[in-house]
Amino acid sequence: MSRSIMQKNRLGSGACTDASKRIDFSFNGKAYQGVAGDTLASALLANGVDVVGRSFKYARPRGIVGHGAEEPNAIIQLGSGAATVPNLKATQVELYAGLEAFSVNGWPSVDFDLMGVIGAFGRLMPPGFYYKTFMYPKKLWMTYEHFIRKAAGLGATPVERDPDTYDKLNQHCDVLVVGAGPAGLVAAREAARAGARVIIADEQSQFGGSLLASTQTLDGIAATDWVAQLVAELQGFDNVQLLPRSTVFGYYDHNFLAILERRTDHLGLTADQGARQRLHRVRAKQVVLATGAFERPLVFAHNDIPGVMSACSVSTYINRYGVLPGNKLVLVTTNDSAYQTALDWHQAGRQVVAVVDTRTDPQGDSVNAVKALGIDVIDGHAVIEAQGSKRVKGALVAPINADGTAVTGSARGLNCDLIASSGGWSPAIHLSSHTGAKPQWDEQIVGFRPGESKQQERSAGACRGTYSLAACLAEGGNAGAEAAKLAGCGDGTIHFAAPVCQEYAQQPQQALFLLPHTQSTSRAPSQFVDFQLDVTAGGVELAVREGFESVEHVKRYTALGFGTDQGKLGNINGMAILANALGQSIAETGTTIFRPSYTPSTFGALAGRDVNQLFDPERYTAMHRWHVEQGAEFENVGQWKRPWYFPQSGETMFDAVNREGLAVRNSVGILDASTLGKIDIQGPDAAEFITRIYTNSYLKLAPGKCRYGVMLKEDGMIFDDGVCACLGDNHYLMFTTTGGAAGVLAWLELWQQTEWPELQVYFTSVTDHWTTATVSGPNARKVIAKVCADIDLSNQAFGFMDWRDGTVAGVKARVFRISFTGELSYEVNVPAHHGRHVWEQLMEAGAEFDITPYGTETMHVLRAEKGFIIVGQDTDGSMTPSDMNMDWVLGKNKTFSYLGKRSLERSDTTRDNRKQLVGLKTLVATEVIPEGAQIVFDSKQKIPMSMQGHVTSSYYSACLGHSIALAVVKGGLNRLGQIVYCPLADGRIIAAEIVSSVFYDPKGERHHVE
């Protein structure tokens, strides 16, 4: 690594830097030193680094243009490894010891980029060139694209998991002030004084905005001292929250704003000091936007050569950072404000070669101050071309006509290494634009002002086109007091006198954007409008020539404004050039809408803590740890973790499921069924209500009895199913599917609250209150009997589809005799905190019968053997009860037209040949059809084949010794005995016979164990 510690352009300490504190850093592998308070950009300029990157399309060498969020060129990759960050703007990276940064383009180096060769053929790549070529031969496009893609991107994404964490903070405030420049600071102070809860956020490390680089005085003290005083005052209010390094990047509906606070980035990539960034989600009653303005660069030939900068940025580097980015300055301007840069440059002791003013005979205070120093002011002229390649070597200056459209005389060269330009200012109206306010073009300020407010916001200061410091301060104070008043704090009184500051008489600026050249725009050397995407004035004019007349078309055709700077410098110039090409005004041409993010926002911060295991809550049953201890494999069902199967050592899943299933069929098994939804329903009209919800009737269901029900959406399609038990008079317990529980509760509440409020019925979700252990198998009664003394378990006393209150393993329990396996089953419900105890007691009681825990997979096999459907697996939202061969569940004599009933009588739901649930038995008994296989009748048919249905559930049945499948087949119930085929992806065709969907114990005798 070579080493350079000469900061040849370092003037000394600036307002925000301390030249005595050196900081080591590296750029593109070379060591440099900056000072405390530097940004990476100011440190690079101090070291005389000219080329910081290569442009995207033409690979032209590029240098630093601006000093903040507007910077288009100085895009860098920070650091390496897992913590690397792509695409940061060097102007926004605070320098820290050991910082490593790299250019994002340029191979083998930014100083010598082979891609630069392509730039020489730039004329072959006008806007839209790729739409016009690479089409023939057709098959080669993917090859062309392969090479096009190689040039894609700026920086590189990390390839490892982000080592950092991110926070979110929900906030409410009375007044949110965006921007802590002069207007924002006084706005915050007035609002705070009025008693409002205030948040003031600024994207920079220090509050003060433009004042940090100002040579003005306020109330007789230096601007930076005044800022320090005011910040101290704000800190003294306990109702003010100050957020530096915090970018308000989006303004959303109902005064919701998103702020990204960078907490540790300035400390280095491995700061390890808590959350790296924090997203503040702020609901503000009122908002004051004080976001300032961007200086607009002028567009002229080769204006992208390193050493062409914004005038205000040059001043900022001098005053704020103590850096002089060159030796000999030519300033080109259309306005008075930029003259300050000439004064600053002169004051710093380096040569101002000339100020080139496009206006004739300017006479403002700053102009005269410059003239008084003997600086050459060349009026009625423009810089028409920059000279040089990797650094400006000169400026070509020519006289121009009064409206700035043509060169009127011969050009001459000025020797210089820095060209600062100013085409006036563009208010930063981005946040106002996010709200849908339509920006208004203002001829006076030659810029867009914020449109009429759509939200509770107002703009103050430069972001609404107010540029004199005194006026900004007055506006800020008024805005702060007004916002507080509207938020219910204070009466709008202004409490603080506006600071006294010097006023400068200014003359009107000229509305000029593209400086003319001796050649037409199409033939002149490239005049860049959007540096990052290499959009030129000629490109904009070409788009118009080709018929793209809407500003949006031109933007999209040329890519103007689509860079990571979002066109903060280029958009207005581009629009002005477009308007000119169309022969209309900028106001007629319209504007484009700014969208969030104001500046790019880290994905990790938007995600916050809700990643990894917190991406979605995990729900566990009371027995979860027991399952884990037994080595269960788990399945995600909704948010629940359910045991899928319990493999014993050396067992495959197939082995385990066969073992578990046989245990249930031959002795007894135990299932954790706690995840089923449970809704407690009470009220005098409960029976009537649930009878309207289910397809069958519950009016005559007696206490102690259970009934299986299906519920439909109003379109007649099955939506959920489960057992509903009558717990007592006017009291029911509804079981739902695991995944459907929340939806069913909302469904019940919907109908009760909106259509049938006259029905007195109340719902409570009790899913989490109860734990359910299902004991199933011929020995189930014997197991229960060992731990339950107070329920008569005999068939006579406690029949199928009954439930009883009792005590199980010493715990008050509800025991339901319902069965999803076809075997004798008891579902033991106990309060959840006793769940594991009861489970373990049942295991102990069952030991002598070799009680076997089984998971969801075995449950699926067992229920499929019985032909019981699973909603969501055997149905898909297009299935009626009749399709499921469940006509028996449709109440025939119900007086009320239950939900979905009418839809069952539509022409499509009553037609023949609907898909119907059947069983499939493979001709080769051991062959298991993959679930999701499609079914055809003619296996010889060529593709496209006529598909007649599909397999919804399919397993090997250990107890039957052959495979079983459930399927839906067109007209299937009339096709029993027919052979169908499942053509698989691997070329196999599985033949199967259509059979009844009930494979096991078709008469349903097994649960009647005596």
Partner 1 sequence: MLLIHCPHCREAREEEEYSYRGEAHIVRPLAPESLSDEEWGDYLFFRSNPKGIHHEMWYHAVGCRRYFNVTRDTLTYEILESYLIGQQPAVTGATS
Partner 2 sequence: MKKYSAFSLLKNALSYHENWQKVWRNPTPKSDYDVIVVGGGGHGLATAYYLAKVHGLTNIAVIEKGYLGGGNTARNTTIIRSNYLWDEAAQLYELSLKLWEGLSQELNYNVMFSQRGVLNLGHTLQDMRDIERRVNANRLNGIDGEVVSPQRVKEIAPLINISADSRYPILGASFQPRGGTARHDAVAWGYARGADALGVDLIQQTEVTGIRRQDGAVVGVETTKGFIGARKVACVTAGNSSVVAAMAGLRLPVESRPLQALVSEPVKPCLDTVVMSNAVHGYISQSDKGDLVIGAGVDSYNGYGQRGSFHIVEHTVQAICELFPAFSRVRMNRQWGGIVDTCPDACPIISKTSVDGLYFNCGWGTGGFKATPGSGYVFADTVANDRPHPLAAAFTLDRFNSGALIDEHGAAGVAH
608 binds, among partner 2, partner 1, none (CB under 5 to 8 A by kind): partner 2
Compute φ and ψ for 551, nearest 5 degrees: -60, -35
What tokens does 893 get?
Answer: 């004599």
Residue with Cβ nearer partner 1 (907 or 946): 907
Q: Does 616 bind partner 1 (CB under 8 A)?
A: no
Peptide bond into 297 cis (omega under 30): no
749 binds, among partner 2, partner 1, none (CB under 5 to 8 A by kind): partner 1
Residue with Cβ nearer partner 2 (126 or 704): 126
**Which of 793, 790, 798, 741 lies closest to 764 in space, CA to CA?**
741
Of 123, 412, 769, 902, the one binding partner 1 (CB under 8 A) is 902
Residue with Cβ nearer partner 2 (347 or 584): 584
Task: Work out whether the CA dihedral 605, 607, 611, 614 comes out positive or negative.
Answer: positive
Of 442, 715, 840, 1001, the one binding partner 1 (CB under 8 A) is 715
607 binds, among partner 2, partner 1, none (CB under 5 to 8 A by kind): partner 2
Peptide bond into 643 cis (omega under 30): no
945 binds, among partner 2, partner 1, none (CB under 5 to 8 A by kind): partner 2
Residue with Cβ nearer partner 1 (248 or 370): 248
Which amino acid, residue 568? K
649 binds, among partner 2, partner 1, none (CB under 5 to 8 A by kind): none
Smallest distance, partner 1 to C-beta of residue 336, A: 41
877 binds, among partner 2, partner 1, none (CB under 5 to 8 A by kind): partner 2
233 binds, among partner 1, partner 2, none (CB under 5 to 8 A by kind): none
Q: Does 907 bind partner 1 (CB under 8 A)?
A: yes
**Which of 61, 67, 21 lies closest to 44 in space, CA to CA?**
67
Smallest distance, partner 1 to C-beta of residue 599, A: 21
161 binds, among partner 2, partner 1, none (CB under 5 to 8 A by kind): partner 2
Residue with Cβ nearer partner 1 (399 or 638): 638
Beta-carbon contacts of residue 764 (< 8 Å; ≥ 6 apart): 679, 680, 682
Smallest distance, partner 1 to C-beta of residue 456, A: 11
- Residues 584 and 550: their CA atoms lie apart, in Å, by 12
Residue with Cβ nearer partner 1 (908 or 986): 908
Q: Does 638 bind partner 1 (CB under 8 A)?
A: no
Token pair 């005798």 is found at 1005
750 binds, among partner 2, partner 1, none (CB under 5 to 8 A by kind): partner 1
| Residue 30 contacts residue 1 (beta carbons within 8 Å) | yes
Q: Does 496 bind partner 1 (CB under 8 A)?
A: no
**Which of 584, 577, 582, 580 lies closest to 560 in space, CA to CA?**
577
Entry field: residues in the chain: 1010
Partners of 640 in beta bridges? 619, 637
Of 256, 603, 615, 888, the one binding partner 1 (CB under 8 A) is 256
Q: Looking only at residues 341 through 380 of this chain, which bind partner 1 when binding is defined by CB under 8 A?
A: none
Q: Looking only at residues 738 through 777 of this chain, which bind partner 1 when binding is defined by CB under 8 A?
A: 746, 749-750, 753-755, 757
What tokens does 46 get?
Answer: 């101090």
Q: Looking only at residues 265 through 284 of this chain, which bind partner 1 when binding is defined by CB under 8 A?
A: 283
Q: Does 253 bind partner 1 (CB under 8 A)?
A: yes
Q: Does 926 bind partner 1 (CB under 8 A)?
A: no
- Residues 802 and 466: their CA atoms lie apart, in Å, by 80
- What is the pairing mode between strands 381-388 and 392-399? antiparallel
Smallest distance, partner 1 to C-beta of residue 717, A: 11
Of 48, 128, 436, 778, the one binding partner 1 (CB under 8 A) is 436
Smallest distance, partner 1 to C-beta of residue 287, A: 14
What tokens does 198 get?
Answer: 């205030």
Can you say how many angstroms the Cα of residue 637 is from the centroid of all Cα atoms in its chain?
A: 26
- Residues 109 and 992: their CA atoms lie apart, in Å, by 67
Residue with Cβ nearer partner 2 (262 or 975): 262
Q: Does 901 bind partner 1 (CB under 8 A)?
A: yes
Q: Looking only at residues 455 through 494 of this chain, which bind partner 1 when binding is defined by CB under 8 A?
A: none
Smallest distance, partner 2 to C-beta of residue 122, A: 9
Q: Does 897 bind partner 1 (CB under 8 A)?
A: yes
If 0-12 CB within 10 Å is exposed, 13-18 middle and 19+ buried, where does residue 662 land? Answer: middle
- Residues 366 and 835: their CA atoms lie apart, in Å, by 83
Which amino acid, residue 515? L
- Residues 619 and 431: their CA atoms lie apart, in Å, by 41
Task: Indicate the Cα dihedral angle 425, 430, 433, 435, nearest 10°.
Answer: -150
Of 239, 903, 934, 978, the one binding partner 1 (CB under 8 A) is 903
- Residues 632 and 738: their CA atoms lie apart, in Å, by 19
For the chain, how long is the longest CA-to-CA vector?
A: 116
Kindly state the number of chain residues that form the binding site for partner 1, as judged by CB under 8 A. Answer: 24
- Taking CA atoms, 608 is separated from 277, 612, 988, in Å, by 9, 11, 48
Partners of 919 in beta bridges? 966, 995
Smallest distance, partner 2 to C-beta of residue 599, A: 8
- Residues 576 and 204: their CA atoms lie apart, in Å, by 30
Residue with Cβ nearer partner 2 (553 or 786): 553
Residue with Cβ nearer partner 2 (911 or 1003): 911
Smallest distance, partner 1 to C-beta of residue 899, A: 9
Residue with Cβ nearer partner 1 (7 or 255): 255
Residue with Cβ nearer partner 1 (252 or 937): 252
Q: Does 149 bind partner 1 (CB under 8 A)?
A: no
Smallest distance, partner 2 to C-beta of residue 682, A: 31
- What is the pairing mode between strands 377-379 and 351-357? parallel
What tokens does 996 get?
Answer: 């009844």
- Residues 877 and 566: their CA atoms lie apart, in Å, by 45
107 binds, among partner 2, partner 1, none (CB under 5 to 8 A by kind): none
Residue with Cβ nearer partner 1 (753 or 796): 753
Report the interface residues with partner 1, using CB under 8 A: 252-256, 283, 436, 454, 714-715, 746, 749-750, 753-755, 757, 897, 901-903, 905-907
